[in-house]
A and B are shown apart, each in its own frame.
Chain A
Amino acid sequence: MNAQINKQVLREHFGIHARPEQVVVALAGNPNVGKSTVFNSLTGLRQHTGNWPGKTVDNAQGVFSYRQTSFLLVDLPGTYSLLAHTIEEQIARDFICFGHPDATLVVLDATCLERNLNLALQVLEITPRVVICVNLMDEARKRGIIIDVKTLEKELRVPVVGTAARIGEGIEDLKEALWQVATQSTHAEPAQVRYSLEVEEAIRELSSALDAVPTGPLNRRWLALRLLDGNPSILAGINTYFELISN
């Protein structure tokens, strides 16, 4: 019960007013990957746009139903990474970390997968409840780029769906994958980034210093990495998190 209330408080902090039985899905992706096309083809006209609370950054939310479950899709700002150098990246990261999404959908551009995987891997470091959508498959085919979705799924160890949102290809599969991840309790164990020895050494050293630190929903290894990035904005996020749940 308490957890339910916490979840609601946290979401409302981000301006997300979901009904208790509603499933919240965060939508992440690079700019120019057809993220809004995916958003539109999932939600149709049932959407509204505004700003993130207190920020001049666009926020779009939309709803759709699948298998008698109502989904609330939250469009995160388009970013190249979640390392929080800009306000957009910070919003995207904080929502995935603290906004309690039941699933995060990461949209990748099939025509430049490498750069897009960089973002996907960063999301997978935060949460295992992820569905990967490789969009623009039609465009990639036209350019002679073939994406092996099965291999990708094996490598990332989370559901991967190839789509061409413009023509509606793969959208039903995407809904099914989202439904699986958001409502089933089986947890994926996604691929983790392998760091070089130097970085691993630094993580180990800092993690031991973090042993007794309460980190909320975050794992220690990831928090250590962010502190090593030298970007203290995550600390403010953790602080807000504890403030919200203690009230």
Chain B
Amino acid sequence: MEIGLANLSLADLPAGSAGCITSVEVGGLLRRRIMDLGMLPGTQVRCVRKAPWGDPVALQVRGSIIALRAEDLRKIKISPIINREG
């Protein structure tokens, strides 16, 4: 499967896989929220599961589970990392 690596976002992560945030391209209050929760460039994030309609998406961030909507996740870019935990 070919996905432009530069354009990979948190919304593209399948459940169970992890990524490393490269940039947070969200503005306003949501940006502050996301950063206060510790989702910063360089932070590893794992997609834990998706809601029944595929949206929102639950992410594991620094030991806690945070759910965000897919359209917001599309603006958080990541680089994929190899999945060690299965």
Contact = CB atoms under 8 A, between A and B. Distances in A.
A80 B38 CA distance: 10
Interface in B1-51: 29, 32-33, 36-38
A80 B37 contact: yes
Interface string A100-123: 000000000101111100100000
Contacts of A111: 63-64
B62 A85 contact: no
Given A113-B63, A114-B62, A85 B33 contact: yes
Contact of B38 (A83, A85, A86, A115): A115
A118 to B, nearest CB: 7
Contacts of B36: 80-81, 83, 85, 118
Contacts of A115: 37-38, 61-64
A109 B65 CA distance: 13
Contacts of A86: 29
B64 A85 contact: no
A62 B38 CA distance: 32
Contacts of A81: 36
Nearest to B66: A115
A69 B20 CA distance: 50
A87 to B, nearest CB: 11
B63 A80 contact: no
A118 B61 CA distance: 14
Nearest to A86: B29
Interface of B: 29, 32-33, 36-38, 61-64
